[in-house]
Structure 1
Amino acid sequence: MIRNNFMILLLLFVTLGEERKSFLSFQNTEKTEILFFTKMEEVIIVRSSYKDKRPNSSYLFVQLENPKMLHVVNVTKTSLDATNFTINLRTDEDGETNLTIQLWDSEGRQERLIEEIKNVKVKVHKQTKKNLFQASMHVDGNILMLILPLILLNKCAFGCKIELQVLQTVWKRPLPIILGAVTQFFLMPFCGFLLSQILALPEAQAFGFVMTCTCPGGGGGYLFALLLEGDVTLAILMTCTSTLLALIMMPINSYVYSRILGLSGIFHIPVFKIVSTLLFILIPISVGIVIKRRLPEKANLLEKVIRPLSFILMFVGIYLTFRMGSIFLKTANLEMLLLGLSVPTLGLSFGYSFSKVCMLPLPVCKTVAIESGVLNSFLALAIIQFSLSQAKANLASLAPFTVAMCSGCEMLLILLVYKTKKRCVFTREDKKSFLL
């Protein structure tokens, strides 16, 4: 019988009295670290510093809350420089249970309980032969086939809104581009690293967040710039520029922060994916520019449908992100969610604040903020999946999905607040004009 691989997520909550000396410690897990396992049988190693009264008098007893879901194959004891107990666990179904670990010492005919660790929480999730990343990428092909023409049409419509005068202005004074690049490739990765260290994330998850923070602006940037009345031409230019800079800055940041975090190995940069992303933006937008110059009537028609198309694609994008990331979201803890919410918030805040300090126009401030906060975080997935072992990649891949989902929700909330506030202002003005 073919057995499915599964993963066991262990969340260990150990509460020991302060006055009583602790003899037991876990060797292959931290107290609050979530582990991903991909085999039918998994191992927990418990080290004991207790000195036996007689040779081999101590032993470990494991009590299970639900033996049907999780059972112990065996517990073996090895005593060299230190005493280690190896607990072999086996499971056949999903669920959540608790186990209790007890250290006993047999003194003649009497047995004495030395130490007890209660409420060791075990969460079991079966997993197919595909890894988590492959499973998350399984999206309904009909949806993709439906939205792909809409995406291309929308990008073409954005090309019709390109203003050459704005391009000339930015060429002469590229301050918004510089502010966005500094925020995206220097400030955001450092903040991601700092926050991951403050929250004491495992190395793989910390690396995932740093790589997510060093991603360039995403295609949703100029979409939100349009809906929030920013500078669309500048947004497109910033997205293309940051994507091009990512070819240089992502390898540098991945090398620097991987060494700081103690991760070794060769880190693969998705050059093809970055270049294809750039071409996927430039080609349809260039077509839109040509249409605007050659067929102005068609360009006007495209500009009329750009807003409803953008709204549709925004909601579809958020839906697909949640659908793909749901398998990772099940394993997210509070620290991960806090970081996921913090990354886009910091990017938006830094971009807007720096632009205001430089006294840039309000539409430009909005655009720099959006481009700094809405990241193409899925580029980080390619680095993570090709550079780390599968277990570490599953841990690290939670970061891009969490940031993408939180970013979509935050931008949707900002858009709703902005539209509501704008409508209230219009209502007040209409009332005043009516009274006059």
Structure 2
Amino acid sequence: MHSLCHTSTVRHGDVKTFDVPRFCGDSMQLVVCLFVVLSCLHHVSRASHPTLRVRVSPPFQPLEFKEGIKQDLTVRVELQNSTLNATHVLQDDFTLYLFVKPEVEWRLKVISQNPLYFNKTDIVKRTNKTFTIIGEVLGYSNLTFYSVDSLAGLQGNNGSVIRDGFRIVVLRYLVLMDKVFLGIIIGLVSINHVNMGCTLDLRVILAVLRKPIGPVVGFLCQFLIMPLLSFGTSLLLIEEPLYRLGLFALGCSPGGTSSNFWTLLLDGDVNLSVVMTMLSTIAALGMLPLWMYSLGPHLYNTQGITIPYDKMILSLIALSLPLGIGILIKAKKPSWASVIVKMIKPITLLIILVIMTVGIYNSLYVFYLLSWGIVGAGLITAWGGFFFGAFFAWLFKLERKQIIAVSIETAFQNAGVAFLMLRLSLTEPDGDLASVSCIAQLSVVGPPLWVALLLLHTRKRISRLCYPDDPLPVTPVPLGTVNLAADVLENDLVKGRVDVDNNLDKVTHLENRGDGGSDVPMNKDGEMGPEEATRGDVSIAGSEVTSGDNKPALV
């Protein structure tokens, strides 16, 4: 058997047949020649039909712009796919208008001449020309370059696309005024915490810690209800993973100091509010990473998440230190504390207004990034916090003031912890973008409280008009909640009236002593008998605390 490569000659009579392998070789040569010819034709075609391209400087992507800062973008137009010089390819009257269009026009703005004019000389000499662009709102955007033969061709962007997909990223730019505002807010909040310390009562705080029903309810609402609520609403209503992560991070954060201010303004239990804020900050050292590493990966890649433990510890110190100063002032200088307590509500209201104004000013960019889904998710999470906090506090039979404190504490998170965690864990501008949903929730948590504050003051105003002879609200204390401790009666009751400004909390959480040491005569069932027990100018009759002139004692 012969190989196909073996050359052989076959004779049939006097006729010589052709050589098969030689025929194959000739065919291959023909194919190669044809390929060379087609390649030459292709190059000739490309040389005779050159295309234009745009070179951009700086060339690296994404190109970073600072928010509100002008930046130049240098461009030049060159021939592409041409082995000939532009002098021989382009006609003498060649003109081209280069037009640049941002993908998101409200994020980037071209403030220089647009389009730029190029003629044959500009292209031959590779002349550089400049677009001046300013970043308006943080985020990402692409630039697209169009070429047209005349200005009329720019109408409707009918030009030919020379280059698209040039990536631009706009970053936040913090000016000096932002840092000044931040310092002012920190100073005002610290001063107001000193003021709040003058209203606290260590005995009441210790009583809350000994019987921590309120703090336990607040803990369950803060670290069980809020994380699950923010997780569910973000999945249902928000499409962007970064925004989902931001809302969830805020939902997992501890209680914020604003809850203490609002609890004070709405006549809630300030002692309980402060205790819950401090305990939730301590608990967040473990609960925040637990939620972020368990449910966080379902929203975004949280492997690189950095938990700001130092920020939470600093928040705890920043809260406890001014409060301690206020408590010390109350103990050493009660006259000073009395003056501070009378001024604390107007000061607190002013501080909240300043924080709102500065916050809106620094977060104007957020309004460009909001969507109905983000606003809806923030609203459901915030108002759900009010509802579930009040519901569970009522379910555990807490008092009205405690219900107010738990409800407000549940809805308010420490936004500073969430912001810092996002910015430490994500690159720019992703950290700022993730904070958008946090700001959205913070912007909708306040309106219900303003309405409640307006209704409360309206009610007090009407009460003063209807009862002009009794300017202070009179509340009879049920028999079962009174503990006639001798020190409280001697210090707090003067001629049958209670010093509301200084010592209100000392008699609001008192209980009956059913033991033999009670100052109130008790029957065998531990209830007050029909006899009246008197001490000084105060007597207890029936089911109310009354003064010697048979008027209810103020509590």
In structure 1, C-alpha distance between the alignment counterparts of 2:449 and 2:246, rounded to whole Å: 22
Residue equivalent to 1:268 = 306
Residue 195 of structure 1: CA displacement? 0.9
The reply on whether 1:204 has 2:306 as its aligned counterpart is no
Tell me which of 345, 353, 358 is aligned to 2:396: 358
Given the alignment of the two structures, is residue 326 of structure 1 paired with residue 364 of structure 2, yes or no?
Answer: yes
Corresponding residue for 2:165? 88
Q: Indicate which of 161, 165, 184 corresponds to 2:203.
A: 165
Q: Which of 346, 350, 353 is the aligned partner of 1:312?
A: 350
Q: Residues 281-302 of structure 1, C-alpha deviation per residue, up to 9 Å, x if partnerless?
A: 1111101111111111122122
Q: 1:298 to 1:36 in 2, by over 3 A?
A: closer
Task: State the percentage of identical aligned residues.
Answer: 24
TM-score, normalized by length of structure 1?
A: 0.70
Deviations along 1:195-214, whole A, 9 cap, x unmatched? 11111422221111111111
Residue in structure 1 matched with residue 318 of structure 2 by the alignment: 280
Distance in 2 (CA, whole Å) between partners of 1:265 and 1:340 is 25
Change in 2 beyond 3 A, CA 1:387/1:65? farther
Q: Give the equivalent residue in structure 2 for 1:345.
A: 383
The answer to whether the 8 Å contact 1:321/1:404 transfers is no
2:228 matches 1:190: yes
Match of 1:405 in 2: 443
Summarize the Cα distance change of 1:64–1:235 in structure 2 as closer, same or farther, 3 Å threshold: farther
1:27 corresponds to which residue?
none
Matches within 5 A, 1:21-420: 37-38=139-140, 41=143, 67=157, 73-74=161-162, 87-88=164-165, 127=170, 131-132=171-172, 135=174, 139-420=177-458
Counterpart CA distance in 2 for 1:161 and 1:182 is 27
SS in structure 2 of the partner of residue 88 of structure 1: strand
Task: For residue 364 of structure 2, give the secondary structure of its aligned residue in structure 1.
Answer: helix
Cα deviation, 1:130-161, whole Å, max 9, x if unaligned, reads x23x54x8644554555544333211111111
Distance in 2 between the 1:212 and 1:264 partners? Answer: 15
Q: Which string of whole-angstrom CA distances, capped at 9 and with x for unpartnered residues, describes residues 355-389 of structure 1?
A: 11111110000000010012212311111112223
| 2: CA distance, partners of 1:407 / 1:388 | 26
1 or 2 for the larger relative contact order (CA 8 Å, sep ≥6)?
A: 1
Q: 2:234·2:247 contact (CA, 8 Å) conserved in 1?
A: yes
- Residues 4, 194 of structure 1: CA spacing in aligned structure 2 closer, same or farther, 3 A cutoff? closer
The letter of the residue matching 1:258 is G
CA contact (8 A) 2:217 2:392 kept: yes
Structure 2: how far apart are the matches of 1:356 and 1:347? 14
Match of 1:100 in 2: none
Alpha-carbon offset, residue 346 of structure 1: 0.9
Distance in 2 (CA, whole Å) between partners of 1:148 and 1:283 is: 13
Secondary structure, aligned partner of 1:397:
helix
Structure 2 vs 1, CA of residues 8 and 336 (structure 1 numbering), >3 Å: closer, same or farther? farther
| 8 Å contact from structure 2 (residues 464, 470) kept in 1 | no
Aligned CA distance change for structure 1 residues 429 and 185 (closer, same or farther; 3 Å): same
CA distance in 2, matches of 1:310, 1:325: 22
> What is the alpha-carbon root mean square deviation over aligned residues?
3.2
* Matched residue type, 2:275: L
Query: What is the CA–CA distance in structure 2 between the aligned matches of 1:269 and 1:426, rounded to whole Å?
Result: 51
Amino acid at match of 1:162: L
Name the structure with the higher helix share: 1
Q: What is the Cα deviation at residue 250 of structure 1?
A: 0.9
Moved more, 325-334 or 228-237: 325-334
Cα separation, 2, equivalents of 1:385 and 1:42: 30
- What one-letter code is carried by the residue in structure 2 that aligns with 1:191? L
Aligned partners of 1:168, 1:323: CA distance in 2, in Å? 41
Cα offset for 1:270? 0.9
SS in 1 for 2:245: helix
* Structure 1 counterpart of 2:242, one-letter code: A
Q: Which amino acid aligns with 1:341?
A: L
* Partner SS for 2:165: strand
Secondary structure of the residue aligned to 2:446 is helix
Deviation at 1:428, TM superposition (A): 3.8
In 2, Cα distance between equivalents of 1:174 and 1:427? 39
Which residue matches 1:58? none
Residue identity opposite 2:425 in structure 1: S
After superposition, the Cα gap between the structure-2 partners of 1:301 and 1:8, relative to the gap in structure 1 and judged at 3 Å, is farther
Query: How far apart are 1:252 and its partner, in Å?
Result: 1.0
How far apart are residue 180 of structure 1 and its match? 1.1
Q: Write the letter of the residue equivalent to 1:88.
A: G
Q: Name the CA distance, whole Å, in 1 between partners of 2:403 and 2:280.
A: 17
Aligned-residue offset at 1:312: 0.8
CA distance, structure 1, for counterparts of residue 374 and residue 410 of structure 2: 20
